Structure 1
Amino acid sequence: MLFCDEVTSALDADTAVAVMNLLTELPDRRGLSLVLVSHDLRLVADRTDSLVVISGGHVVESGPTARLFTAPTHPVTAAPATGMPLGG
């Protein structure tokens, strides 16, 4: 398992995408799991099968990435501050 905590936070947009592309190739190439921790959910969303949304140290919502983007059930997930284009 490779745990990446805010791995792109100090990078410019192009470099962040390049790093994410490299990281997301690893599970298939090396047979490992990848855990991405990020405040930029749009950056990780198309590279994940599922998401866990945490607020105040508690899991407030989790599930398949596509569902969280299209039908969030918690206000934190749907909040514009997340940068996620949720709920239409």
Structure 2
Amino acid sequence: MPARPKPRVVDTRPTVLITEHEVTMLTAATISPHAKAGMVSRWIAAHRAARESSVSHRRLVAHYDFLEHSAMARAMEHL
């Protein structure tokens, strides 16, 4: 009787790769003391303000891009 080969087991779990920097930051976050509530709210407010300013900048860039394309379209119509 021939020997039956063992069924091949395939790992279907997603592979997660993290960098050394992420390991360092996660370790620091795990062993660091908890921040005071006032510091957390100030940090959130600072990052929210920075994000809102960058979002408005992105809107302006897209707006200028739209104006440039519409000006080019008008120039092409005149030709």
Which has a greater percent of helix?
2
TM (norm. structure 1) is 0.23
Q: Select the structure of larger CA radius of gyration.
A: 2
TM (norm. structure 2) is 0.26
Which has a greater percent of strand?
1
